Amino acid sequence: MKQSFNKINKVEGELTFRGDKSISHRSVIFSALAHGKSLIKNISNSDDVASTIACFKELGVEFNYVEEYLEVIGRGINSFKAPSKQLDAGNSGTTARLLSGFLAAQNFDSELIGDESLSKRPMSRVANPLKLMGADITLSDNNYLPMKIGKSSLNPIEYEMEIASAQIKSALLLAAIHLNNESKIIEKLSTRDHTERMLQLPTFYDSGKKIIHASLLNYPKNSIYNVPGDISSASFFIVLTLLSKNSELIIRNSSLNESRIGIIEVLQKMGGDITIVSQRSDMGEPLGDLLVRSSEHLSNIKLDEKIIPNIIDELPILSIVGIFASGDFEVRNAKELRVKETDRINAICRNMERAGIMVTEFEDGFRLSGPPIPQSNIFESYGDHRIAMSFAILGMLIENETTINDFESVSISNPLFLEQIKKITS
């Protein structure tokens, strides 16, 4: 589907986003694993989280929508139904990778599949460390879905992460919570910490490294989850407000987890007028309200390697800010962008060229020199929701009508994007 956008006049109003996608996936997984009834409030309405729910339905978990809650009747340890068909993770890397850790610990065989994009994304990154635990995993071409997982008996592991990835970390922790003896997962570069927070895993720091302990003692119990709003979905609206004249936006109930608010930190350092107006905590996850106002003079800053995992999903929309800010916008140490829903370095560089930006592409990033002087106002989403939304925001900031091709991918994270844009723009 093609979607057109025009320059907006201003942003004004208030938005509350549906539940954070990463926290929603984990709420579903932990509720499914726990024995008995759990309730999840403000679950994400994204296609990705629907994929996680569909996989657990196939494993015998019951889900019911009861008023504003998703009720989950979890099976408890070693009580899942063996799947009668392949488990389809759709477009969701988080579903495939987190489930691989959980499935490796089950007493039945299973097979994970995904859509065309997910079938091109690397899976040996989770399969290899899981195999070190004793998992029986076979991948297509040693790296891709379909992933066949045989029943096997696992051993605990002490593993230092080779790639800064919350998905790999969480897959290993999900396997580790099935074992009597303790596993230790060590991170040099911190990644989003929802799994260890929500499971209350003992965490220690040594010589700048984070060490997370996990064992059967940490197996989830049934609970009530209240998922804070998705800060990654909010970031598109934050940027649109900063870059539009006479604009003001309030965002209610946003996740303010420290491992996720790198986008706010970077935008503030660039000169963005963003204030956290209230902050609280719910079940260990910080959340609060944000006030965002137009900010005329933004300047690009150096992005340190350490902050990259914290803003990995926000780099496409940050690159839009980057071309309006003074100085060049440069991203390095972000090779991971090449293995997201699409090769995001390629997608950003090609679309920026269409926008008349001077582009230098690196294996691990890019340099952009703005401002935009469109050669063409037609951008490709490459089937990637965050690319689609980022260039839609650009379309609302430049003259002439902009078209985004294959815009339907937005429902992967935020099916309400267009409705929310309509609500706050004039």
Tell me if 167 contacts ligand S3P by CB under 6 A: yes
**Residue 78 per-residue DSSP state:** T
Tokens of 359: 């582009």
Q: How far is the CB of 295 from ligand S3P (least distance, A)?
A: 26
Tokens of 200: 């209350």
The residues in 15-44 that bind ligand S3P, with binding defined as CB under 6 A, are 22, 25
Q: Is 313 assigned a catalytic role?
A: yes
Q: H helices of 325-384, where? A: 344-354
Phi, psi of 130 (to 5 degrees): -65, -35
Q: How far is the CB of 100 from ligand S3P (least distance, A)?
A: 13
- The answer to whether residues 241 and 6 touch, using CB atoms and an 8 Å cutoff, is no
Pick between residue 94 and residue 247 the one whose CB is nearest to ligand S3P: 94
Single out the catalytic residue among 313, 328, 364, 406.
313
- The answer to whether residues 331 and 303 touch, using CB atoms and an 8 Å cutoff, is yes
Instruction: Find the part of the chain contacting ligand S3P (CB under 6 A) among 59-67, 164-172, 221-229, 361-369.
Output: 164-172
Tell me if 312 contacts ligand S3P by CB under 6 A: yes
Size of the site for ligand S3P (CB under 6 A): 12
Q: How far is the CB of 275 from ligand S3P (least distance, A)?
A: 26
- The answer to whether residues 378 and 372 touch, using CB atoms and an 8 Å cutoff, is no
Pick between residue 170 and residue 411 the one whose CB is nearest to ligand S3P: 170
Q: How far is the CB of 413 from ligand S3P (least distance, A)?
A: 8
Tell me if 166 contacts ligand S3P by CB under 6 A: yes
Pick between residue 171 and residue 398 the one whose CB is nearest to ligand S3P: 171
d(CA 193, CA 260): 9
Tell me if 94 contacts ligand S3P by CB under 6 A: yes
Applying CB under 6 A, which of residues 38, 100, 170, 247 lies at the interface with ligand S3P?
Answer: 170
Q: H helices of 61-132, where? A: 93-104, 124-132
Pick between residue 193 and residue 289 the one whose CB is nearest to ligand S3P: 193
Identity at 32, one-letter amino acid code: A
The residues in 100-159 that bind ligand S3P, with binding defined as CB under 6 A, are none
- The answer to whether residues 182 and 159 touch, using CB atoms and an 8 Å cutoff, is no
Longest dimension (CA), the chain: 62
Pick between residue 312 and residue 394 the one whose CB is nearest to ligand S3P: 312
Residue owning tokens 């910490």? 193
CA-wise closest residue to 319 among 361, 276, 377: 361
Tell me if 191 contacts ligand S3P by CB under 6 A: yes
Residue owning tokens 């209230």? 278
Active-site annotation, residues: 313
Q: Which residues sit at the interface with ligand S3P, rule CB under 6 A?
A: 22, 25, 94, 165-167, 170, 191-192, 312-313, 336
